[in-house]
Amino acid sequence: MTPMKNVFRIAAVSLLGFGSAQAADTMVPGVARRLTVEQYTRVIADTFGPTVKIGGRFDPDVRVDGLIEVGAAQVSVSSTSLSQYDAMARSIAAQVVNEDNRLTMLPCKPASATAPDDACAGKFLAKVGGSLFRRPLTPAEIEHQVRTAANATETVKDFYQGLSLTLASMLTAPEFLFRVESVEADPANRGGYRLDSAGKATRLAFFLWNGAPDEELLRAAQKSELDTPKGLEKQVNRMMASGRLKDGIRAFFDDMLQLAGMDDVMKDGALFPKFSSQIAGEAREQTLRTIVGVVTAPKGDYRDIFTTKKTFLTPGLASIYKVPLAFDAPIGAPDYWKAYEFKAEDPRAGILVQTSFVTMNSHPGRSSPTLRGKALREVLLCQKVPAPPADVNFTIVQDTSNPVYRTARDRLIAHRTNPVCGGCHKLIDPMGLALENFDGGGAFRTTENGVKIDTSGEIDGVKFADAAGLGQAIHDNPAAASCLVQRLTAYGLGRTPKKDETWVETQKAAFIKNNYSVPGLMRSLALSPEFYRAVPNEIKAAFNTP
């Protein structure tokens, strides 16, 4: 080995500055999660400001066990996606050092624009490196980055371009693209591991804020304050009080309710002229605003998201809901959202009848009680609905021109007479049929093919007459609260809790006792020692259908 390489080796070994007590070959169960699209975007904006544009295409996030946050701990990157990340990184870095931005974004001016300036490069790289890697860089790491910049500058004979390429390499680096939660031996659990201070800071910040730790959290981590119950509580309380908590809550519900699916919702323009990709985005936002409004209100009860009459509307959504609403701000103004409360007699209540849920769980040209019922069971109650068996004839279900079976209910009942199908359809159809007053584009209707729609149904023995009744039944169903606890815990851990992790049951009991408060549950999880226990990651096959 040449002496030069040796220097790199030594620098590399001390690079991360945490967890170095472990022997190199121990299988330490730290968890590495790939940044989601949203998190990537947020960290870039936090570091360089909102004017930097992010071009290019991200790898699609992968959902495992119902959550992208769990999928993020399962996926890696291919060379194809890495070249996309690399192209995006070079574009971001070029904007940071371009002639318009370099005066404000760089803390110094190089002595020469065509030669390396280690002092200036070091100042800049240490600062942005700390923000991008979510921890202060060690002196060895700064030295490593400065040398990288000097080499690049010498090759291209341009200080800014050399710096820009080095910055791009940091944006392509695994320390940026993956959130590594570092671990240490757990004194309370012999032979086990727990997150160390830096690992805790990362987990906390992404869990509560969906972003990187701020300076105060990093400081507390460095001083090992997060390792004492008192120090941890102080930071958690501070973070819970911050306006960024809403970002965390939004990110969680966006993931749990699979609202990213709105990006893929396409409706036939001839049949649903009011629907557009703009409306799809607004529908997603409406649901998030509704939920944040409910769960962050004083004594906000999670279950009320299924029954609330309160929501927020844009002109486009108001038109779909046929709500006469005056908007002062012109359309296209930065924020033309308006709070609105549906009247008691209005059929709209809760998130299940919002445009997001009913359009996402429909076909491009019509509604689908089956898809809606399935989503309800799987997404909101965490129950698995089996796939249809092989060799089944579905013909009757949607021959909408059949003179005998005019409504979806008629067609599904006919289909259900097949005992093989009946088992599962009994589980999903009655819930989905209750939403039949809302068509595939989200509009209210009372008839299908000239026949009045019957929206009555039952779930787990509870009967209801319409969508509002369904909302109330879900509100009262114990599986709804249980599902929320399971998903929020998995979201924080980056894995689905195992059946023998009884502490999750304790969390659930506390959640119920605490009036189903979501922020309360977040706080209680964040203060729980089990939340930081490191469990070896298991990779499940992640696969999507064609």
Q: Which stretch binds other proteins (CB under 8 A): 117-125, 153-161, 315-323, 442-450?
A: 153-161
Whichever of 188 and 390 has its CB closer to other proteins, that residue is: 390
Cα dihedral 522→528→529→535 (10° resolution): -50
- Find the shortest distance in angstroms from Cβ 177 to other proteins: 8
Cα–Cα distance measured from residue 219 to residue 236, given in angstroms and rounded to the nearest whole number: 14
Residue 60 in contact with other proteins, rule: CB under 8 A: yes
80 near other proteins, rule: CB under 8 A: yes
At residue 166, what is the residue type?
T
Site for other proteins in 231-290 (CB under 8 A): 264, 266, 268-271
| By the rule CB under 8 A, 32 interacts with other proteins | yes
Secondary structure (3-state) at 458: strand
Output 170 or 480, the one with its CB closest to other proteins.
Answer: 170
Considering beta carbons, is residue 161 or 314 the nearer one to other proteins? Answer: 161
Is 257 in contact with 249 (CB distance < 8 Å)? Answer: no
Helix (H) or strand (E) holding 181: strand 178-181
Contact set for other proteins, span 521-540 (CB under 8 A)? 536-540
Out of 51, 76, 224, 506, the residue judged to bind other proteins by CB under 8 A: 76
Measured CA to CA, the distance from residue 306 to residue 28 in angstroms comes to: 42
Q: What is the distance in angstroms between the CA of the first residue and the CA of the last residue of the chain?
A: 49
189 binds other proteins (CB under 8 A): no
Helices and strands in the chain, H and E counts: 23, 11
Q: Residue 127 interacts with other proteins (CB under 8 A)?
A: no
- Closest distance to other proteins from the beta carbon of 79 (Å): 4
| Torsion region of 515: left, alpha or beta (phi above 0 gives left; psi -120 to 50 gives alpha) | left
Which residue, 46 or 175, is less far from other proteins as judged by CB?
175
CB of 484 to other proteins, least distance (A): 26
- Which member of 136, 162, 430, 432 binds other proteins (CB under 8 A)? 162
CB 503 to other proteins: min, Å: 21
Question: Which stretch of DSSP H or E encloses residue 215?
Answer: helix 215-222
Read off the DSSP letter of residue 225.
G
Of 151 and 456, the one with the shorter C-beta distance to other proteins is 151
- For 60, the 3-state DSSP assignment is coil
- Min CB(326)–other proteins separation in Å: 34
Site for other proteins in 312-351 (CB under 8 A): none
Count of residues that bind other proteins according to CB under 8 A:
95
| Segment 385 to 414, residues that bind other proteins, using CB under 8 A | 386-400
Asked if residue 128 binds other proteins (CB under 8 A), the reply is no
Q: HEC states along 79-122? A: HHHHHHHHHHHHHHHHHHHCCCCHHHHCCCCCCCCCCCCHHHHH
Minimum Å distance from CB 528 to other proteins? Answer: 22
* DSSP character string of 138-154: PHHHHHHHHHHHHHHHH
Q: Tell me whether residue 402 or residue 456 sits nearer to other proteins (CB atom).
A: 402
